[in-house]
Amino acid sequence: MDLNPLLPNNGDITLITKISGTGSALPAKILTNADLAILVDTSDEWITSRTGIKERRIAVDGEYTSTFAVEAARQALSMAGILPEELDLIILGTVTPDFPFPSTACIIQKELGAHKAVAFDISAACSGFIYGLSIADSFIRSGRSKKALIIGSEVLSRVVDWNDRNTCILFGDGAGAVVVEASEDQSGIVSTHIFSDGTCWDLLYQPGSGSRNPAGIHATDPNLFFIRMEGNEVYKHAVRAMEEAAMAALNANGLTASDISLLIPHQANRRIIDAITKRLDLDADKVFINLHRYGNTSSASIPIALDEANRQGRIKPGDLLLLDAFGGGFTYGSALIRW
């Protein structure tokens, strides 16, 4: 599904969805590759050579998906100069909500004091932030929203099997957020492109806690509540899908990769990022990578990277950004943004 935000919404007025604030929040606890080597049969060299990850952040007792989401949101609101009560929409992308229900977005709404906002979660795995951005963009273009908050937040450490060296090395916790506003400026979201391929859902999923394997019946089998992944197959699909999503954004706008100022890809695996960089024929200095410090934070990875790039001065007014994601489902998507 490709969405063109340049359609008029009211008379001759064309509204653009502009990012006015970014934020991120990470746990203080750091888990290094050397720490993991104590838990499972692995090593820093083995993990680094296969994933590019050196360390990840891990939530401790009393820290939840909402904990990091609220902090990231506050940072984004502060940068945008917007009060929580001005928000009319809150969208959270997550696969690790505080509870099965209610939506963790409602908990965030309460903590922020954003009492005028509609709040809901979406479950699109690592593509959750792109999906949320696309939805918010549609709301703003249609005139149904003026100021929205989109968050990606995860505590994946609580659904990881710490005895499985193939998956426990990959994931980390954290949150990223953006505030978007209706604007008549020419800077903002140029287009979003979201896709799904449900034929491969069982290559990356969490079997337990849903209606198929409810906790009450299967409480004696904790393995059901851990992430399951066919790594090699996921890798092949991820590279193809992320290339497709990136090209969809470029082709829809008559652009080539050389027009991109910065690619911010989902931070899942360095080999995937390198493959996408090569397929798009991008220079390495046009790709933002923080995977080595945080691991795969699923829906949080792109907004965390976007916030870091923004605060580090890697993004300048007029720059053209390409966000590119892939996740379980399979879901994948991209967003083209004029800063």
CA dist 87 and 185 (Å) reads 20
Catalytic entry in 33, 106, 168, 266: 266
Give the chain's end-to-end CA distance (angstroms, integer): 23
Which residues have C-beta within 8 Å of that of residue 171, sequence separation ≥ 6? 56, 156, 157, 160, 227, 295, 296, 297, 298
Spell out the SS3 assignment of 67-116.
Answer: HHHHHHHHHHHHHHCCCHHHCCEEEEECCCCCCCCCCHHHHHHHHHCCCC
CA dist 52 and 44 (Å) reads 10
Q: Is residue 155 within a helix (H) or strand (E), and if so which, with residue range?
A: strand 147-155
CA dist 323 and 310 (Å) reads 14
CA dihedral 284, 325, 140, 17 (to 10 degrees): 0
Residue 264, classified by CB atoms within 10 Å of its CB into exposed (0-12), middle (13-18) or buried (19+), is buried
Q: Is residue 276 within a helix (H) or strand (E), and if so which, with residue range?
A: helix 270-279
Catalytic entry in 33, 269, 296, 310: 296
Catalytic entry in 126, 168, 193, 269: 126
Asked about 126 being catalytic, the answer comes back as: yes
- Strand-by-strand arrangement of the 320-327 sheet: 2-3, 188-196, 331-338, 320-327, 262-265
Asked about 296 being catalytic, the answer comes back as: yes
Cβ-count burial 75-113 (b if 16+ within 10 Å, e if not) = bbbebbebebebbbbbbbbbbbbbeeeebbbbbbbebbe
Q: Catalytic residue numbers? A: 126, 266, 296
